[in-house]
Amino acid sequence: MAYLRMQDLDLDGRRVLIREDFNVPMADGAVTSDKRIVAALPTIQQALGKGAAVILMSHLGRPVEGEYDEQYSLAPVAASLSTHLGQKVQLVQDWLGGVEVKPGEVILCQNVRFNPGEKANDEALARRMAALCDVFVMDAFGTAHRAQASTEGVGHYAPIACAGPLLAGELDALKLALEDPQRPLLAIVGGSKVSTKLSVLETLLDRTDQLIVGGGIANTFIAATGHEVGQSLYEPDLIDAAQRLVRLAHERGGNIPIPVDVVVAKSFSADASASVRPVDAVGEDELILDIGPLTAANYAEIIWGAGTVLWNGPVGVFEFENFAGGTRTVAEAIEKSRAFSIAGGGDTLAAIDQFDVAGGISYISTGGGAFLEFVEGKTLPAVAMLEQRGRTEN
């Protein structure tokens, strides 16, 4: 991958515009998890250490473009950054016309998604962003799969565009694990819907030695084998697709295991009582909310036999204690296994936190959609831009 890296560039006295991912969870106007902010600190400190004037930008949530909305203001992020860096980080409300920043200073531009044209990657907007800087640094892996003005467009017009250490580190780790993995390579794909992950399931069937599905996705596979799934979340339209994947796995001498037991409830709620059933004994009025203990133990065995484990998505409704058992068993099996393990995706990160298994996972990717697209072998648009700019610079 021939892109420039921030650490190799002379930034002394330069205006350095860094696209970070400060899309942090908030409640009552305060940051509730500053993980993403903390993750970005080494990049900012490195740029400051090289004598740069640092301009940060990020999105937060999904505001309506062109409309200022207080709940999506980055003000709480500026406050958190000021505390962590031990210096004032000013939030600049109107920044597209130009900003004042001296070497050693850090400013934060207000939410990029307030600007009309951000999502459509408007060229005029991208050019205005690029005009703010001498060097553009793309450091937000979680948004690298989106071609938007602040992630991709800006890089074409900035005098220099390079990858920041967070983004480069993430790409290096994923590449290492996917290009020459320790075999057998196991992928566990959970979550709610087959439809959002169909192409990733197809690719993984090709690339891995074993695929395990969980969550609402597994429900569709259970229905595809002819079992009753009652009121469970599943996608009748994707039963054909699930059957085709199962057939393909068999043709390749493998399988996609179907849960042998499941945990069911009569309603989708935190206090619903849980019953374990064999997979062929689900009632018409029941919902499957987790894999059962036998199935979870089988999956743990498969995990212990793997050389590399890729994990995306919970295998049950882990947010409800009564239905968290399957995801806990899978998470703890990955934690204890000797395999090189990579986990990614918003809910997966929440599960890793909940079960306190981060210490046993080799690499935790910050990107949800970007992680899945990388695993699928797609070129991430922001990375393609960096590679194109890298070629013209060298």
Residue 246: left (phi > 0), alpha (psi -120 to 50), or beta? alpha
Amino acid at 214: G
344 binds ligand AMP per the rule CB under 6 A = no
Q: Toward ligand AMP, which CB reaches closer, 53 or 288? A: 288
User: What residues numbered 2-41 form the site for ligand AMP, per CB under 6 A?
Assistant: none
Q: Which is nearer to ligand AMP, 31 or 265 (CB)?
A: 265
Q: Which of 216, 257, 367, 381 binds ligand AMP (CB under 6 A)?
A: 216
Nearer to ligand AMP by Cβ, of 87 and 195: the residue is 195
The verdict on 111 binding ligand AMP (CB under 6 A) reads no
Report whether the peptide linkage leading into residue 257 is cis, meaning its omega lies within 30 degrees of zero: no
User: Residue 69: how many CA atoms within 13 Å on its side-chain side?
Assistant: 15
Residues 282-321 that bind ligand AMP (CB under 6 A): 288-289, 313-314, 316-317, 319
Nearest to 95 by CA among 130, 61, 146, 51: 130
The length of the chain in residues reads 394
Q: Structure tokens of 226?
A: 């002819």
**Nearest distance from residue 209's CB to ligand AMP, in Å?**
23
CB atoms within 10 A of CB 283: 13
Closer to ligand AMP by Cβ: residue 62 or 391? 62
**Which residue is at the shortest CB distance from ligand AMP?**
191
Element (H, E) at 40: helix 35-49
Q: Exactly one of 73, 80, 150, 219 binds ligand AMP (CB under 6 A); which one? A: 219
Q: Among residue numbers 47 through 86, which ones bind ligand AMP (CB under 6 A)?
A: none
HSE, side-chain direction, 13 A CA sphere, residue 233: 18
Whether 200 contacts 371, CB under 8 Å? no
Give least dist CB 208 to ligand AMP, A. Answer: 18
Specify the amino acid at residue 227.
H
Could you write out the three-class secondary structure of 293-315?
A: HHHHHHHHHHHHCCCEEEEECCC
Task: Say how far apart CA 142 and CA 124 lie, in whole Å.
Answer: 24
Closer residue to ligand AMP in complex, CB, 153/259: 259
DSSP assignment letter at 149: I
Q: In the complex, what is the shortest distance from the CB of residue 10 to ligand AMP, in angstroms, rounded to a whole number?
A: 42
**Smallest gap, in angstroms, from Cβ of residue 354 to ligand AMP?**
12
Q: Which x/- pattern over 146-185 shows residues binding ligand AMP (rule: CB under 6 A)?
A: ----------------------------------------
Nearer to ligand AMP, 21 or 290 (CB): 290
Q: Which two tokens stand for residue 129?
A: 């962003």
Nearest distance in Å: CB 333, ligand AMP: 17
Kindly tell me which residue out of 26, 233, 249, 384 binds ligand AMP, with binding defined by CB under 6 A: 233
Q: Which stretch, 82-90, 145-153, 214-222, 293-301, contacts ligand AMP (CB under 6 A)? A: 214-222
Q: How many residues bind ligand AMP (CB under 6 A)?
A: 17
Q: Could you tell me the smallest distance in angstroms from the CB atom of residue 232 to ligand AMP?
A: 6
Instruction: Rank residues 106 and 330 by Cβ distance to ligand AMP and give the closer one.
Output: 330
Strand partners, 39: none
Q: H or E element: which one contains 335?
A: helix 325-336
Nearest to 221 by CA among 250, 198, 191, 246: 246
Q: How many CB atoms lie within 10 A of CB 284?
A: 8
**Catalytic residue numbers?**
36, 193, 346, 369
**Span 182-211, contacts to ligand AMP by CB under 6 A:** 191-193, 196
For residue 202, which amino acid is it? E
Establish if 215 lies at the interface with ligand AMP (CB under 6 A). Answer: yes
| Cβ distance to ligand AMP smaller for residue 70 or 271 | 271
How does DSSP assign 45-81, residue by residue? HHHHHTTPEEEEE---S-PPTT---GGG-SHHHHHHH
Question: Minimum distance between the CB of residue 270 and ligand AMP, rounded to whole angstroms?
Answer: 11
Burial 14-27 (b: 16+ CB within 10 A, else e): bbbbbbbbbbbebe
Interface positions with ligand AMP (CB under 6 A): 191-193, 196, 215-216, 219, 233, 288-289, 313-314, 316-317, 319, 345, 347
